[in-house]
Structure 1
Amino acid sequence: MRCVVDGQKAQESQTRYSRYAEEIGDDIADTVQQFGCQPILFVGSGLAKRYMGTPNWDELLSHLATHCTAIDKGLGFYKQSLITPMRIGEEFAKIYQEWAWTAGHNEFPEEMFGESVGAQSYIKYKIASYINSLTPIDASKIGKDEHKKEISSLTKIKPHAIITTNYDRMLEMLFPDHEPIIGQNILKGQQVYIGEIYKIHGSVTDPDSIVFTESDYREFQRKKKFLSAKLLTFFNEHPLIFIGYSATDPNIRSILSDIDEALPEKGGVIPNVYILQWNPQINEDSVPPREKVIPTEDDRTIRVKLIEAADFGWVFDAFSTNPALNDVNPRILRALIARSYDLVRHDIPKLPVHVDFKMLTESVENSNSFAKLFGIANIDDYSFAAVQHPLSATQLGKLLGGNGWHTANALLDKLKQITGTDIKSSDNKYHRSELVNTTKFHKYSNDCLNLLESVRDGLPFELNLGLPSKNAQPAHN
């Protein structure tokens, strides 16, 4: 064996948790690359509580009980007698209606006392008012200083779409180029399925849309099959991450039950579904579990990928590692798709516009000519570096005969033991790192694959960290 060492040696070994984070980050980047599209975010109340201090179910019920003089018993009484939050919400809605028409009249706008106003509008008006009072005036005011970097990483994800059960406006403020679709409007009209925020339980901008009481949930469940049909397309075609939910949350169980029904094979881990859970006990020695078994409906279970973190920033960075989409405006994509849809479905069949069918036929024959219809130039590789180092640790490990990143990392460690050189400590012809915000992601070349094959097989090798020439042929998977 002859070694020519040309790079900086690693000064310190990784902690167990940083290794975990690196491997999870590689897995996320691989999944995003494999699906070839941006992720779907499914956001629950935990994220709004983290950044804005908005209430969870119990806290909201407690606030409503405290601020209505007609509710003269403690929340504990209603929990004992009515059990579920939805039933308590139903009872509170009746009390709020009666209160509004008697002692609490001055608590509500005068226009709310007409025959056309719904009986549950009074409690929903108060819910919206309370949550609005907790909402900052603009996006720059969202989150404490300790969360600013994390929020910046979140907004860089460029999600294909966002689905939320939250009522607040935080997501619209953080993703201003995404269009909110509220409540039952999801089932109406034409959505273009990109750059949209689906507020499936309503919004404070339309208090009557809020899903809060038992009767609201019954109605939601009745129409849920139509919503699920739309959402399943997302889940089959995109990476998906649940943020701000407990794994036992009924919304999680319901959605995952629908996904489970659509899976061709049962029992395995769903490769594109992640649940991000906050764990304040995480430290440098932590090695959290990577999977979660979640009970769904009809006594079934489903396995998804679990991520535990005290700081979400590195997870959000991993979902934003597609540099080709860093400057894409979702508004432009929405407008492009919507206009194309109208053109194909309405304008061309009805012929209100002149159509050059010969030109269209020739243009749709391949992606390059089709893109030119929209003034878009195709770019196959976003940089020379990406061409030379196309492999993640997971891809590298599979090419080395393993099931994933474990194999690659074991051989990289063995190489370091043999040569005293950590090739991941610098950018070189075997390895390069991509810095996304404050998180580093590692990519590898075909030269690295050849090198690690020699290490694996006990063959002689030459270690030369020099960067490849720009005239070199691109590496291939």
Structure 2
Amino acid sequence: MSLTDQIEAHLRGFASPPYLFVGSGIARRYLGLENWKGLLEKQCELHDLDYGFLSSSANGDLPALASAMAKEFHQKWWKEKKYKDSRDQFSKQASNDESALKFEIAKYITSAGTVTKDAGLLAELELFKQVVVDGIVTTNWDGLLEALFPDYKIYVGQEELLFAQIQGIGEIYKIHGSYDDPNSLVLTSSDYNEFHRRNPYLASKLLTFFVENPIVFLGYSLTDKNILDIIHSVLNCLSPRNVEKLADRLIFVQWDRYSTEDRFERTILSNDGRSLPVFQVTTFDMATVLAALTKIKRRIPAKILRILKQQVFDLVHTTTPNERVYVKDIDDSTDVSAIEVAIGVGIQERLRDKGYTAISRPDIVRDVLFNDGGYLADVIVRDTLPELLKKTPYVPVFKYLQAAQGTPKWDASQIGPRVTKASKKAISDFRPTSVGRRTADAIAAYSKDFASYAKQSDPEMVVNYAGLLPEKALKPQQLHEFLTQNISLMGSPKTNVATNFYKLVCMYDVLKFGSL
């Protein structure tokens, strides 16, 4: 039996699809980023810090090393001319003397985390997009998973996960923070102290996944202390009898380039004197593992399940069902914008409005470009945009603000502070960053229009640089044609391409709908 068949057969024995725990090995494999130690060493190189001295002073403790680096770098970042652009971009977000290093790491991940060009690895990424899982937990900071699963809702950091009403399906939990919110990064000793202080609360949130789903660990070493601490925090919540059941649910995948045969076998996890039997997969071909994860059957797509679960939860907790039940078959072709027709309990309008908080940024972008979402503009402004703007400033808002003003019951007081702030943005707020000054100046001096510029380069290059064109060159109709023809770039695993695509959509939104 092949490794793919062995994994599939094992996972078929559980009632629910697996959860993925994704670690730094995945970022190294597909984005070319370093592991944590390598990343710190690279930052010392980039910022003229003495890695040897700082590392030896920290006695091999990586959070302590990061703390020492942050302290030494703090003054350099605020004083030296070479960091002026960074200060212009981030200074208002600085909260302490560790922020500067986090800002530079976030910028580095954005620019250096480019998707592999290896044909075999690209084929693996195509399989990765098709895996069937209930959700993903990751300690990675990059944006690869968001690009692979654009319909999943993202929760960043412990605090957001702890205080959110998570649904447990179609969601990504970035428990160590994210590159697009630099202050959220769990990097230094103080960050880890706070993370460990909250570990019991995090474990209580993750407990449901561990007892209801098999868990597949990708990109982690069997000796990774961070993940071992989380696992054993969960164990502390279980009786010895249930710990034995958990052992069948944990599968660690180890990629070994020198392996001559695939193996699916038992091994032991040890941490602080405690041991737990788990399954270990060893392979030189990750495609065999990913292929097994694509074979899991699910009758309803995860995105739709998440919306339905959230709506039912909201109805149970906010109203008494007293009218009709609507039922309709749901599959991959179901129009999510019509989800209120698919299932409803109680008052249909309330169900519909609650569902608007589950609309994703890709949904909004498609509606801005194709005008086919059928959304209520006032509800988008009131419920959807504030949620999306919590995560990122790159969300188009003007289309909905303009349309909302024409609705019968429109009340300007419905505009929340995040949407108000977004409504004041201009083209300059969405220019690409991390572009060399000479290149930026050359593009800014371009004398022709967007369409002419777009003909000179491949679509990815256009997305990454066209936002630097003079505003008069950015013709809305030309932008619209390009964006609709290249909509697939919104889901690019290259974080810079995906981010700049969203920025270009925001520019189109400003130009087309910005006259409020």
Q: Under TM normalisation by the shorter chain, which class is it?
A: 0.5 to 0.7
1:91 to 68, 83, 86: 68
Could you say which residue in structure 1 is the equivalent of 2:252?
A: 275
Q: Give the Cα–Cα distance (whole angstroms) in 1 for the partners of residues 21 and 298 of structure 2.
A: 23
Change beyond 3 A, Cα 1:78–1:330: same
Q: Tell me if the contact between 2:20 and 2:217 (Cα under 8 Å) persists in the aligned partners.
A: yes
1:205 to 180, 183, 193: 180
Could you say which residue in structure 2 is the equivalent of 1:329?
A: 301
What are the residue-to-residue correspondences of 1:76-475 with 2, within 5 Å?
76-83=52-59, 84-103=61-80, 105-106=83-84, 108-110=86-88, 112-113=90-91, 117-136=95-114, 144-183=118-157, 184-261=159-236, 262=238, 264-265=240-241, 270-283=247-260, 286=261, 288=263, 290-297=265-272, 299-325=273-299, 328-348=300-320, 355-356=322-323, 375=342
Cα distance, 1:64 vs structure 2: 1.1
Q: Tell me if the contact between 2:270 and 2:276 (Cα under 8 Å) persists in the aligned partners.
A: yes
Q: Give the Cα–Cα distance (whole angstroms) in 2 for the partners of residues 116 and 315 of structure 1.
A: 42
Q: Give the Cα–Cα distance (whole angstroms) in 1 for the partners of residues 168 and 33 of structure 2.
A: 28
Q: Give the Cα–Cα distance (whole angstroms) in 2 for the partners of residues 192 and 281 of structure 1.
A: 40
Q: Tell me if the contact between 1:268 and 1:303 (Cα under 8 Å) persists in the aligned partners.
A: no
Q: Tell me if the contact between 1:269 and 1:305 (Cα under 8 Å) persists in the aligned partners.
A: no
* Secondary structure, counterpart of 2:268 in structure 1: strand
Cα distance, 1:267 vs structure 2: 6.5
Cα distance, 1:118 vs structure 2: 2.6
2:20 to 41, 59, 64: 41
Summarize deviations over 1:348-372 as a string: whole Å, max 9, x none: 2xxxxx713xx67x99xxxxxxxxx
Greater RCO, CA 8 A, separation 6+:
1
Q: Give the Cα–Cα distance (whole angstroms) in 2 for the partners of residues 333 and 36 of structure 1.
A: 15
Change beyond 3 A, Cα 1:187–1:269: closer
Deviates further, 313-322 or 88-97: 313-322
Q: Does residue 52 of the first structure (1) align with residue 31 of the second (2)?
A: yes
Change beyond 3 A, Cα 1:242–1:287: closer
Could you say which residue in structure 2 is the equivalent of 1:400?
A: none
Change beyond 3 A, Cα 1:263–1:244: farther
* Secondary structure, counterpart of 2:249 in structure 1: strand
Q: Tell me if the contact between 1:86 and 1:213 (Cα under 8 Å) persists in the aligned partners.
A: yes
Cα distance, 1:243 vs structure 2: 0.3
Structure having the higher helix fraction is 2
Q: Tell me if the contact between 2:78 and 2:87 (Cα under 8 Å) persists in the aligned partners.
A: no
Cα distance, 1:322 vs structure 2: 2.4
Summarize deviations over 1:170-203 as a string: whole Å, max 9, x none: 0000111111100021112311111000000000
Deviates further, 28-37 or 274-283: 28-37
Cα distance, 1:134 vs structure 2: 2.2
Could you say which residue in structure 1 is the equivalent of 2:45?
A: 66
Q: Which structure has the larger Rg?
A: 1
Q: Give the Cα–Cα distance (whole angstroms) in 2 for the partners of residues 374 and 108 of structure 1.
A: 48
Q: Give the Cα–Cα distance (whole angstroms) in 1 for the partners of residues 316 and 235 of structure 2.
A: 34
Q: Tell me if the contact between 1:31 and 1:239 (Cα under 8 Å) persists in the aligned partners.
A: no
Please tell me the residue identity of whatever aligns with 2:21: F
Give aligned-pair identity as a percent.
31
Q: Tell me if the contact between 1:49 and 1:56 (Cα under 8 Å) persists in the aligned partners.
A: yes
Could you say which residue in structure 2 is the equivalent of 1:414?
A: none
Cα distance, 1:145 vs structure 2: 0.9
Q: Give the Cα–Cα distance (whole angstroms) in 2 for the partners of residues 263 and 25 of structure 1.
A: 32
Cα distance, 1:323 vs structure 2: 3.5
* Secondary structure, counterpart of 1:231 in structure 2: helix
* Secondary structure, counterpart of 2:248 in structure 1: strand
Cα distance, 1:164 vs structure 2: 0.2
Change beyond 3 A, Cα 1:375–1:205: same
Q: Give the Cα–Cα distance (whole angstroms) in 1 for the partners of residues 147 and 117 of structure 2.
A: 12
Which sections of structure 1, spanning at least 5 residues, go unmatched? 1-18, 349-353, 364-372, 377-477
Q: Tell me if the contact between 1:31 and 1:272 (Cα under 8 Å) persists in the aligned partners.
A: no
Could you say which residue in structure 1 is the equivalent of 2:359?
A: none
Summarize deviations over 1:130-179 as a string: whole Å, max 9, x none: 0000234xxxx555211122222222112101000000000000111111
Summarize deviations over 1:387-410 as a string: whole Å, max 9, x none: xxxxxxxxxxxxxxxxxxxxxxxx
Which sections of structure 2, spanning at least 5 residues, go unmatched? 328-339, 344-516
Summarize deviations over 1:389-448 as a string: whole Å, max 9, x none: xxxxxxxxxxxxxxxxxxxxxxxxxxxxxxxxxxxxxxxxxxxxxxxxxxxxxxxxxxxx
Q: Tell me if the contact between 2:151 and 2:170 (Cα under 8 Å) persists in the aligned partners.
A: yes
* Secondary structure, counterpart of 2:269 in structure 1: strand
Q: Give the Cα–Cα distance (whole angstroms) in 1 for the partners of residues 246 and 182 of structure 2.
A: 38
* Secondary structure, counterpart of 1:256 in structure 2: helix
Please tell me the residue identity of whatever aligns with 1:302: L
Q: Give the Cα–Cα distance (whole angstroms) in 2 for the partners of residues 342 and 287 of structure 1.
A: 46
Please tell me the residue identity of whatever aligns with 1:258: S
Please tell me the residue identity of whatever aligns with 2:65: I
Cα distance, 1:108 vs structure 2: 2.0
Cα distance, 1:263 vs structure 2: 5.0
